[in-house]
Structure 1
Amino acid sequence: MTTYPPPQQTFSHSTPVRLWEDGFALDPYRYYAALRAQGPVGWAELSPGVPAYVVTDRRAALDLLNDTDAFSHDPRPWESTVADDSPVLGMMRWRPNSLFADGAAHLRYRGALIDTFEQVEPHDLRARVHRAVRLLVSRIGPRGEADLVGEFARPLMALVFNSLFGLPDSRSDGLDSALGKMMEGGAEAARGEVEFSRYVLGLIAAKTERRGDDLPSRLLDHPAGLTPEEVAWQVFLTLGAGHEPTANLVSNALSRILGNPLYYSTLTSGARTVTDAVVEVLHHETPLANYGIHYARRPVTLDGVWIRAAVPVVISYGALAHSAEQEVTSGRHPKDASHLSWSAGPHACPVKQHTLLIATEAIEQLTQWLPDLEPVVPRERLSWRPGPFHRSLTSLPVRFSPRSPDQPGAPS
């Protein structure tokens, strides 16, 4: 494993900012401040001994996201420098899908995914979300208390994806568990990757043998002519990029809503929309905090910082959001306060409308079923899962009046 010295620029800190520490989950803004103190591109560790450049400036991020000549998404040159058991490989290892591809291969994979998701009509996706919420409310409603992370947001996404993939609800728990282990990047990451791979490969094997009215079958039949192996890797990406970030978007939005009674009352009264709350999270507490990973094809400068080839260059969407929030709070108005949670450039999220629909419908339905949700723990005392990539609550305990979906007055 290769150890790199810090970038060739005078920084405020000579040692890398360690995003793998437990302290990062407790107070990421302190770590973002340390990165920003180094300049537009900071120096960090994603896990012990795995360094990376971290972009914390919006202009530098946009330059990076749109520069396909100097930067690549292919991590294989970097992988040869990393130990085989590195906990971040689950999120960064090369796979033949649109996220890790450039040029023609990227266009082929991305086009197939976009075409496939365009066949998912909004009313159909909305119905799948409503069904999942009803099922989850039937489990937690009669108790009068629940954890909205472990018992709602995360299983919700597993149920929705299982439905889109033509699988039974019983397969959702294994999917949820595997993805959680991978995203945290800790000791369980390798096991999560194995479990996740088993889920995806089993799914594609079943759909190769017998098609259905589902996303994998449509990918298998797409004119791009993807092989079953290529379809498996597009599904791998779809789940990895869709399940965890969307579940965290839902739970982060719920925590902000419920943590402010006045805010919650404006939503339940209809004065504000759930979409407002979801967009607020994307601006200020984005669920995929550090990702959009690129690699310089050759040594190059980015906003005055010398970037070595084959070293990860990570975009800190969380630091960008926090910086913009600080400017607004202090009375300054950034030239462009729009968030970059969907990324930008050729690799911008191709299904953001589907994600927004899932998140907003899930929250709207939950608050209709259980209108008197009350947090058990103050928001400032909630705990967050460790890991360099995400902003994810460990739990969101709430109480409410017991409710069954069979009671009169149920949401339509």
Structure 2
Amino acid sequence: MQSPDTTTDPAAAAGGCPMHAAASDGVRPLYGAEAEAQPYALYEQLRAEHGEVAPVRLYGDVPAWLILGHRENLEVMRSKNFSSDSRNWHAIRNGTLAPDSPLRPITAWQPLVALTDGTEHARLREAVTESLAGVNRHRLRRYITRYAVRLIDGFSGEGRADLVADFARKLPAFVVAHQLGIPESAALSVGAAVSDMISGGDAALAGNQLVVETVHDLVESRKLQPGDDLASRLLAHPRGLTDEEVRQHLRLILVGALEPTANLIANTLRMVLTDSRFRGNLSGGQMTLPDALEQVLWDHPPLAVVPTRWATCDIEVGGTRIGAGDMVMLGLAAGNVDPVIRADVDKPVHGNRSHLSFGAGAHECPGQDLGRAIAETGIDLLLERVPDATLSIPDDELQVVGTWMSRRLTSLPVAFKPRRQAPPPAVAAPVPGEPAQPEAAPAPAPAERRSWRFWRR
């Protein structure tokens, strides 16, 4: 497919991408009830009509390219011909993006590692990755365990729960908020605000405002009283981030960690409870928890689309000409089911991490290990403490809400035998005159190749 001449295309004249001008041209919207209800069907229709790169429309008839192929996604991720700086975008340069567009919270340029290139990107990424590396893994697992047990104990005596509302959405909010330095009392409200931002709907701007206010207050607090958290480490990093850069990266970490991790937990639990592929493999001791998480990352990536690439020159990708300044979106979900690399999408993918869920190249997600740790530890504890959980409704009655960027399971109701809460372990009082004993080491993490006890029982 060729882009029309930019000198005659009305979209180009208005400052938009020269691929199409209106809905009447047959270009499909990536948003709306039909597209969001059956996104994988839409991907296949687009693939059949356009190949591995397809023109689509976003909110307000904003034009963009959606990359469908696995190889083509990697090409865009790794190429210097595609910038993460949205100031290269027609709609930003010409001021045609509406001030209240729900695309603004995600695409408007900010001093972020995800929206910069070159030496500036290297400076910011070094600060972010080294600050994340300062997270103590043993303590992290201890906090995940603490919050997971608290949440499980909150519903284990009832004999029923909604594993999305009661567990999958709350656990990442508590853990990530704690790691950043956000007070526990604000964790759930911040988590809800991030979900609103991702939705791209009417609540996106309000959710973004709450997150902005939260990280602003956090930075001011940590400047006066540093702690052992990401906010303090970013402020003190030798790369010399400004207060605004620190605030924006804390916001980025919230967006990049909360919604994807909640979706990963919910989708993994759903597949464990309903998918015969997992039931058969796990009961035979052939699939471990890490294997199952990777399968979900292939089949249901937490983020389906990443809208943060813009062409810096006229270039051809997958046989399609993309013009300089065009918006190019990474189709992670579409690329993961590309028939070129997965002829049989129903076949389990064991031990293969070549999915696109965390990106690739210079902008590969630096916090993916944090999300995996929260999901793996939390799910393992849940299935250990509530091993007899069964779905309360038929699988085909479960509802999934789709947005232009992600799909989220709305609920996962389960029933099980009510359990009494186990008393907290006794802690010996220190002996006067003796030095305090070091904090007990956390229980060992789940073995990398262990099968789930859930299925053995």
TM (normalized to structure 2)? 0.82
What corresponds to 1:365 in structure 2?
Answer: 381
- Aligned equivalent of 1:396, options 375, 394, 412: 412
Rounded Cα–Cα distance in structure 2 between residues aligned with 1:177 and 1:191: 11
* Matched letter for residue 19 of structure 2: P
What corresponds to 2:364 in structure 1?
Answer: 348
TM (normalized to structure 1)? 0.91
What aligned pairs does 1:5-16 form with structure 2 within 5 A after superposition? 5-6=18-19, 14-16=25-27
What aligned pairs does 1:37-52 form with structure 2 within 5 A after superposition? 37=48, 38-52=50-64
- Aligned equivalent of 2:218, options 203, 215, 219: 203
8 A Cα contact 1:73 1:102, kept in partner: yes
- Aligned equivalent of 1:321, options 323, 333, 336: 336
1:33 paired with 2:44, answer: yes
Unaligned runs of 5+ in 2: 1-13, 426-441, 444-457
Change (3 A) 1:108 1:327: same
Deviation per residue, 1:57-110 (Å, 9 max, x gap): 122112111111x21101124333311111122222211110001111111111
Unaligned runs of 5+ in 1: none
Offset, 1:188: 0.9
Offset, 1:14: 4.8
Q: Quick check: which has more Rg, 1 or 2? A: 2
Offset, 1:162: 1.8
What aligned pairs does 1:181-220 form with structure 2 within 5 A after superposition? 181-220=196-235
* Matched letter for residue 19 of structure 1: L
Q: Secondary structure at the match of 1:76?
A: helix
1:159 paired with 2:174, answer: yes
Change (3 A) 1:327 1:14: farther
- Aligned equivalent of 2:117, options 87, 102, 108: 102
What corresponds to 2:74 in structure 1?
Answer: 62
Change (3 A) 1:34 1:261: closer
What corresponds to 2:327 in structure 1?
Answer: 312
RMSD: 2.6
Change (3 A) 1:208 1:276: same
Deviation per residue, 1:266-310 (Å, 9 max, x gap): 658865321111100111111111116210113222222111222
Offset, 1:2: 4.5
Offset, 1:330: 8.5
Change (3 A) 1:147 1:345: same
Q: Secondary structure at the match of 2:244?
A: helix
More displaced, 207-216 or 161-170? 161-170
Rounded Cα–Cα distance in structure 2 between residues aligned with 1:307 and 1:329: 29
What corresponds to 2:422 in structure 1?
Answer: 406
What corresponds to 2:33 in structure 1?
Answer: 22
Q: Secondary structure at the match of 1:298?
A: coil
Rounded Cα–Cα distance in structure 1 between residues aligned with 2:280 and 2:398: 21
8 A Cα contact 2:358 2:365, kept in partner: yes
Rounded Cα–Cα distance in structure 1 between residues aligned with 2:280 and 2:78: 41
Change (3 A) 1:299 1:139: same
Change (3 A) 1:230 1:274: same
Deviation per residue, 1:16-61 (Å, 9 max, x gap): 2222112233211111112212111101123231221000112211
* Matched letter for residue 396 of structure 1: L
Rounded Cα–Cα distance in structure 2 between residues aligned with 1:379 and 1:226: 48
* Matched letter for residue 196 of structure 1: V
What corresponds to 1:169 in structure 2?
Answer: 184
8 A Cα contact 2:289 2:376, kept in partner: yes
Deviation per residue, 1:132-177 (Å, 9 max, x gap): 1011112222222222112211111110012112333211121111
What corresponds to 2:137 in structure 1?
Answer: 122
Offset, 1:403: 2.6
8 A Cα contact 1:35 1:54, kept in partner: no
More displaced, 15-24 or 109-118? 15-24
Change (3 A) 1:294 1:262: closer
More displaced, 113-122 or 216-225? 113-122
Deviation per residue, 1:310-369 (Å, 9 max, x gap): 2220111111122248512589x9xx9931111111111122222212111111011111
8 A Cα contact 1:62 1:344, kept in partner: yes
Change (3 A) 1:92 1:405: farther
Rounded Cα–Cα distance in structure 2 between residues aligned with 1:337 and 1:272: 15
What aligned pairs does 1:215-234 form with structure 2 within 5 A after superposition? 215-234=230-249
Change (3 A) 1:266 1:62: closer
8 A Cα contact 2:46 2:54, kept in partner: yes
Offset, 1:258: 0.8
| Identity, % of aligned positions | 33
Offset, 1:122: 2.0
Change (3 A) 1:237 1:404: farther
Rounded Cα–Cα distance in structure 2 between residues aligned with 1:262 and 1:402: 28
1:380 paired with 2:380, answer: no
Rounded Cα–Cα distance in structure 1 between residues aligned with 2:277 and 2:73: 35
* Matched letter for residue 123 of structure 1: H
Change (3 A) 1:359 1:127: same
What corresponds to 1:146 in structure 2?
Answer: 161
